[in-house]
Structure 1
Amino acid sequence: MLTRRHFLGGTCALSLGAALAGRAFADANSGSRLLFGYPPGAVGSKLASALLPMLAAQGGPSYHLENLDGRNTRVARDAALHAAPDGSTLLQAISASMTLLPSVYKDTGFEATRDFAPLGCMGDFPYVLAVGPLVPASVGNLKQYLGWVNDNPEYRNVGISIYGSIGHLAVRTLVADCDVPLRVQSYQGTTGLLSDLRSQTLAAAFLAPGSGADIAPGAAIRALGVTSRQRLMYWPQLPTLAEQGSPRMDFSAWFGWYCQAATPAGTLHSLREAIARMQASAPYADVLKHLLLTPANLDAEQISARLREETAHYKTLVAGFQISKFD
């Protein structure tokens, strides 16, 4: 049986060798950069480091990854927004940074479909409700976890990567659907969150499935269910949380690449063509499989429509959950 661990040591090493080795930051002296609002080690950072050399190999420009984490991903977004619109500075953003945060902050100073031109969608993923070794091994599904929380209310906190993320909405949805006293505990990225899970300081969290090799059904950090309406293609045996008693649970996220809206049409066309060639390659498919991301090769119009739809949907949910807004 081919497990994810075997994949990491076998085919992934062959197909991703060039991307994850010495060329991880392709031509770092070129000055062209891809900004990302999470720290190194995050799923998105691994994704960008693997894909940038592939983009250059497909005739695209050479970019280096620049992690600008801070202010709940807004540092990277604002830096990209105010960069010269010439194709030299791109933004990689997790979807919630573009569609959910505008409803969590009183004034974000941007509008995704007005200020950015989408270049490509780099993969979808649900979040997974995962429990660490603090939770007894006998707890294997949502009902058992909620029962354990009711018996151990001091461990009711559920970790999320940042305040106002999809994980935040997922916790609030569980509270509303299942009438349980869960409480959000926000972090700045996943590093500290995973450390607290492994050290038994934190009982549970919502995580991207590809956040670590020890996250899986039956692993050290046990996946109990996913937030999407459909099961994750890589873990077909793992039920959704909606199947397990949270009927309104239906959240997915995705990574997008963007340029400034004022970027010349010719530059946008060249970048989109190079990204399309990259996405049609076998190494690209291997990267997504390695990180447990589902392919979603959308064109610019489809991405813009998705941004508008999700922004409206999250605005309604944030208002309904009465999530406090930041300044």
Structure 2
Amino acid sequence: MAALVVAIFMGGTVGGVRTSDRVRPVPVIRLAPCTCPPRYDLWGDQRACPSPRELAVARSMDMPVAIRSACVTIGFLSAAGAVAQGYPTKAVRLVTDGSAGGGGDVLARIVVAELAKVLNQQVIVENRPGAGGTLAPPVVLRAPADGYTLLQITVAAAANVTLRPNLPYDLLNDFSAISQVASGPAVVVVHPSLPVRSIKELIALTRARPGEVNYSSAGTGSSTFLGAELFNHAARVNLVQVAYRGGAPALVGVVSGETAVMFSPLGSSLPLLNRGALRALAVTTSGRVPAIANVPTVAESGVPAYEFSNWYGWFARAGTPGDSINTIQSALVSVLGRPNVAQRLSDLGYLPVGSKPGEFAAYVKENVDRLRTVLQPQRRPGGAR
């Protein structure tokens, strides 16, 4: 700052006007150490600024408005730099419950690549898959509540509250919601040989052949399981689960005809739908999905109480400073609003969200309560089913 002020006084250009043409030479002002508290130092942390006496001297010499304005601008720019030096000051770790290369992992890496640019810090994705998504939360719970270890989980975490009552953590009390990053619509798909072309026909077939029509899932507690079980509850039918070790084998099961139905993530099933390997009956969201706008929703197909989508959300450990949570949430909203990010997520079948912490916390609790109503009768002591 001192160098710039000296340049102005010695003769330079301000706004395209030679300062030497407008002001007479004046002595260079000596800058005394700032006596302001660091937190309110508008000139920047540990930077020199004119004392009140020196500012009075400058004014007495009829310092031009342009020069005084330049000094004030420098002060505010320095303040902005001081703010930027706050959280985060080091790399941030995002622990996800998805496996490397899986849908949640790909989603996380698309987001953090842009988030790192906004935060000006590295954001590292750490995969902790397994045990129905219950291995990732304890990692964050063991870390300090300083905002440098975050958690990405899905709707399965809300189901685990009921399905796995002996969890080593409390989802609603041990973590602070940051934002829902995205939702993952599902589509009800059937093997082309199944004699149904609508949800109404699927319901009729299931009721005519109770216990015989089955569905593929990636395992109890997965989004593919939850979508189907919520449908059973809302439509009052009994599609029978055939659990596979993951979403890919489950999808192969319905493509091969081993199973009849699947509530499949849209991104996974869309290429197969385009090839005619599967038939779409309905999407599970409350509204139609642009990628397959000709496919109706389950609700408009005869089950008005039904709505489901997988959500991907970020959390911090409870006790994390609110300013840190707000910084991450604001950065996420900025990233999700970028056209390149929105397009990449859309291509994978995701819908960007970017909700506020309070909104997301309420949404998670609503999910926990809703899923408890459906899943409680199915749970056995110890979490077995």
Give yes or no for TM over 0.5: yes
Match of 2:133 in 1: 73
Distance 1:137 1:205, change over 3 A: closer
1:107 to 162, 166, 172: 166
Tell me the amino acid that sits aligned with residue 108 of structure 1: L
Contact 1:101-1:165 within 8 A present in 2 as well: no
Q: Distance in 1 between matches of 2:122 and 2:269?
A: 28
- The 3 A distance-change label for structure 1 pair 192 and 272 is same
The match for 1:248 is 305
Q: Which residue of 2 aligns with 1:238?
A: 295
Cα 1:245–1:212 change in 2 (3 A) is closer
Change (3 A) 1:115 1:60: farther
**1:149 CA displacement:** 5.9
**Identity of paired residues, percent?**
25
Per-residue CA deviations over 1:174-219 (Å, capped at 9, x if unaligned) read 4455554420123343122123233433332112111254244774
Deviation, structure 1 residue 102: 0.3
Q: Which moved more, 1:255-264 or 1:163-172?
A: 163-172
Aligned residue for 1:116? 175
What is residue 48 of structure 1 aligned with on the other side? Answer: 108
Q: Partners in 1 of 2:344 and 2:176 — Cα distance?
A: 24
Instruction: Pick the aligned partner of 1:93 from 153, 161, 164.
Output: 153
Counterpart in the other structure of 1:33 = 93
Which range is displaced more, 243-252 or 101-110?
243-252
Which AA in structure 2 matches 1:286? Q
Amino acid aligned to 2:169: F
Structure with greater helix percent: 2
CA separation of 1:304 and 1:324: change in aligned 2, threshold 3 A: same
Give the C-alpha shift of residue 73 in structure 1: 0.2
Residue 228, structure 1, aligned to residue 285, structure 2: yes
Preserved contact between residue 93 and residue 255 of structure 1 (Cα < 8 Å): yes
The amino acid that maps onto 1:79 is V
5+ residue gaps, structure 1, are 1-29
Alignment of 1:79-228 (within 5 A): 79-97=139-157, 99-132=158-191, 135-136=192-193, 139-146=196-203, 156-176=213-233, 178=235, 180-216=237-273, 219-228=276-285
Q: C-alpha separation between the residues in 2 aligned to 1:107 and 1:291?
A: 34
> Paired residue for 1:63?
123
* Whole-angstrom CA distance in 1 between matches of 2:188 and 2:297: 10
Using the TM superposition, give the Cα deviation of residue 41 of structure 1 relative to its aligned residue in structure 2, in angstroms: 3.5
Q: Which has the higher contact order (CA 8 A, sep 6+)?
A: 1
Aligned position for 1:5? none
- The CA deviation string for residues 257-311 of structure 1, in whole angstroms up to 9 with x for no partner, is 1121232344333323322321232222112211222232211111111122222
CA distance in 1, matches of 2:211, 2:346: 37
| 1:211–1:303 distance in 2 versus 1, CA, 3 Å | same
Give the 3 Å change call, closer, same or farther, for CA 150–164 of structure 1 in structure 2.
same
Gaps of 5+ in 2: 1-89
2:346 matches 1:286:
no
CA RMSD of aligned residues (A): 2.9
Distance 1:202 1:192 in 2: 11
Counterpart Cα distance in 1 of 2:155 and 2:227: 15
Structure of higher CA gyration radius? 2
Partners of 2:235 and 2:336 lie apart in 1 by 40
**CA offset at residue 228 of structure 1?**
2.5
What is the aligned residue count?
A: 294
Give me the whole-angstrom Cα distance separating, in 1, the residues matched to 2:263 and 2:252: 14
What secondary structure does 1:46 align onto?
helix
Match of 2:37 in 1: none
